[in-house]
Chain A
Amino acid sequence: MQTVKMVVTGPFSSGKTQFIQTVSEIDVVATERKISSESERIKETTTVAMDFGRITVDDDLVLYLFGTPGQKRFDFMWEILSEGMLGFVVMVDSSRPETFREARRILETFRAYAPTPYVVTANKQDLPDAWDPSDMRIALRLAPEVKLLPCVATDKESVKNSLLELLYSILERMDP
């Protein structure tokens, strides 16, 4: 059995879980765990959510989709997750410009880890406050050759399109 993986990253609430859930054959939020220490008087509960989706391609090939955890404390996981990935998707909530800076930080950090192909999705394009993708391209400082795809993560065709565009970029990399 061969496995390949792709990473879905982006700021908190940009739609990573939704994106993976829309195409995954298993329930995504299965890795949510509560860690609590009973010995402490004030009960501390920490939730670590790491999304994990699966698409079976055929008898001996499986594609895994990993979502990056939301909190900044878990940034160290990015480096671990980015190892061996085929490519990555950076999700951005088009209606929340306050998250663009964080999106840039994530993008720049992943880009520095690996020269892997990636696409950026301008997600939640269905919302009335969504920014125009051409304005987002500048605000996110994307070079002209980087694909910025309008996306609605609840819509299967839209998610499929984003993954396909990423795979086309990977193919192009093989045929320079």
Chain B
Amino acid sequence: MALKGNLRDFSFSQLLNLISLAKKTGTLEVHGLDKDALLSFKGGKLIYAQNSRADNGLGAILARTNKLTDKQYQVIKDRAENIGDKELGLMLINSNYVTQDEILVSLKQEFVSTANDLFTWAEGIFQFENNIKPSPDKISLLISLENIIIEGSRQLQEKERLEDEIPSLDMALRFTENPGTNIRNVNLSVKEWRVVSFINPKNAMRQIARTTKLTEFEFRRIVYSLIQAGLVEIIRPEGSKPSSPKVSTLPVESTDDQKSLVNRLITRIRSL
């Protein structure tokens, strides 16, 4: 089924959150007003990215990250047009121009910056196609999305938007049990760590905000980025549940009477 929409109303951080948590494999195409981007994922991790504004060949990327001189890049561009990235990479490694690590670091920098740039797009039609892989001559990596999401969500400055996302500070937070997401692998700021250290199903968010001496705005933004990265979720604070199993909103008192009333509703609706 369709996984499409517009970044104007379904943000890029929500999209990455979805891809990461659903561990999706496939390719995301985004068409912006004057630019396009294409990102590929495997099991919810970023493996490849390119955008329409630059030459996405390995030679160009190595030149942009100063691993090749402009002259070397020019030669490659003129003479190695038909050589794929994997072959070119091997030749450059074997001839000692660059190391394998330098290539991987350059590519990672390039892919992450393509992803980061998408957080700033005001709009862009996106479509995710399952199981479409990057072309086989491209070198792919395996980059976790948590850090990219946290970094991107930090830039969210809209107060109203944050209040929509986290309307009530009377609720509590708990760590999710997503296998594969580990808070220790995430680069958190000191303030973010302070919030993390108070996360507990018993602590209402309001208390955490007060204890950590953050403004509600700062606090909401931190919580929002942790939620988007799939690390925490909102729950009702523990201890606030009614201790009796009775439903207080039913017009009858005893549990048996309540059950019989609900069963009458069930029978009636089945018969509609």
Interface residue ranges, A against B (CB under 8 Å) = 2-4, 23, 55, 57-58, 61, 63, 84-86, 95, 97-102, 104-105, 108-109, 111-112, 115-116, 128-132, 134-135, 138-139, 141, 143, 156, 160, 163-164, 167-168, 170-171, 173-176
Contacts and interface: CB of A to CB of B under 8 A. Distances in A.
Contacts of B171: 108, 111-112
B236 interface: yes
B4 interface: yes
B1 interface: yes
Given A135-B22, A173-B247, 4 more contacts: A2-B251, A58-B268, A160-B269, A167-B266
Interface centre among B2, B3, B242 (most CB of A within 10 A): B2
B10 to A, nearest CB: 4
Interface in B247-272: 247, 249-252, 255, 258-259, 261-266, 268-270, 272
B241 A115 contact: yes
Q: Give the dominant DSSP class at A's interface.
A: helix
B134 interface: no
A94 to B, nearest CB: 9
A128 B4 CA distance: 11
B121 to A, nearest CB: 15
B249 to A, nearest CB: 5
Contacts of B241: 115
Contacts of A100: 10, 14
B265 A63 contact: yes
Contacts, number: 132
Contacts of A58: 264, 268
B5 interface: yes
Interface of B: 1-6, 8-11, 14, 17-18, 21-22, 164-168, 170-171, 227, 233-236, 240-242, 245-247, 249-252, 255, 258-259, 261-266, 268-270, 272
A139 B14 contact: yes
B264 A112 contact: no
Given A55-B272, A98-B9, A156-B272, A135 B261 contact: no
B2 A173 contact: no
B161 to A, nearest CB: 8
Contacts of B246: 174
A132 B262 CA distance: 31
Contact of B265 (A104, A109, A167): A167
Contacts of B227: 141
Contact of A135 (B3, B242, B268): B3
Shortest 4 CB-CB contacts between residues of A and residues of B? A98-B9, A112-B168, A97-B5, A132-B1
A57 B9 contact: no
A109 B167 contact: yes
A61 B18 CA distance: 43
Contacts of B5: 97-98
A57 B18 CA distance: 42
Given A129-B4, A138-B21, A23 B272 contact: yes
B158 to A, nearest CB: 12
B262 A170 contact: yes
B2 A130 contact: yes
Contact of A84 (B9, B167, B249, B263): B249
Contacts of B251: 2-4
A154 B100 CA distance: 59
Interface centre among B164, B235, B255 (most CB of A within 10 A): B164
14 contacts: A55-B269, A86-B249, A98-B9, A108-B166, A109-B168, A112-B171, A115-B241, A131-B3, A139-B10, A141-B233, A143-B235, A171-B263, A174-B245, A174-B258
Nearest to A156: B272
Given A63-B265, A174-B262, A98 B272 contact: no
Interface centre among B8, B234, B249 (most CB of A within 10 A): B249
